[in-house]
Structure 1
Amino acid sequence: MALPARAGLFDDDEARKRVDALRIDHEARLEKLEASARGQIELANQIESLKAEIAKLRGQLEVMTNDLDQAQKRQRDFYVDLDTRLRKIESSAQTADAAPAPAAADPANETRDYEAALNLLKVGKTKEAANGFVAFIRAYPKSSFLPSAHFWAASALYQGRNVAEAAKLFNKVVENWPDDARAPDALLGLSNSQLELGDKRGAKASLEKILSKYPSSPAAQSAKQRLGRK
Structure 2
Amino acid sequence: MVARTARAALIVVGLAATGAAAAGMFDDEEARKEIIRLRDNYGSRLEQLETTSRAQFELANEFQALKAEIAKLRGQIEVLTYQVDSSDKRQKDFYVDLDNRLRKLENAAMTPSAAARPIDPVAEARDYEGALGLLKAGKNREAGAAFEAFIATYAGSSFLPSAYFWAGNAWFQEREAARASDHYRKVAELWPDDPRAPDALLGLAQSQQAMGDAKGAKETLGRILETYPDSSAAQMAKQRLGRR
TM over 0.5: yes
Asked if 1:224 corresponds to 2:227, the answer is: no
Counterparts of 1:105 and 1:222, CA distance in 2: 37
Give CA deviations for 1:11-32 in whole Å, capped at 9, x if unaligned: xxxxxxxxxxxxxxxxxxxxxx
Asked if 1:125 corresponds to 2:139, the answer is: yes
Amino acid at match of 1:225: Q
Counterparts of 1:174 and 1:129, CA distance in 2: 21
Aligned match of 2:188: 174
Q: How does 1:1-230 map to 2 (within 5 A)?
A: 103-230=117-244
Q: TM-score by structure 2 length?
A: 0.52
Shift of 1:105: 1.2
Counterparts of 1:214 and 1:128, CA distance in 2: 32
Shift of 1:103: 4.0
Amino acid at match of 1:171: R
Amino acid at match of 1:193: S
Counterparts of 1:177 and 1:114, CA distance in 2: 19
Work out the percentage of aligned pairs sharing the same amino acid: 58
RMSD of aligned Cα (Å): 1.1
Shift of 1:137: 0.3
Amino acid at match of 1:183: A
Amino acid at match of 2:122: A
Structure 2: stretches of 5+ with no match in the other structure? 1-115
Amino acid at match of 2:196: R
Give CA deviations for 1:166-192 in whole Å, capped at 9, x if unaligned: 011111111111110000000000000
Counterparts of 2:235 and 2:133, CA distance in 1: 28
Counterparts of 2:235 and 2:138, CA distance in 1: 26
Counterparts of 2:123 and 2:208, CA distance in 1: 35
Counterparts of 1:195 and 1:162, CA distance in 2: 12
Structure 1: stretches of 5+ with no match in the other structure? 1-101
Counterparts of 1:170 and 1:194, CA distance in 2: 11
Structure 1 window deviating more from structure 2 (102-111 vs 113-122): it is 102-111
Give CA deviations for 1:127-149 in whole Å, capped at 9, x if unaligned: 01001000000000000000000
Structure (1 or 2) with the larger CA radius of gyration: 2
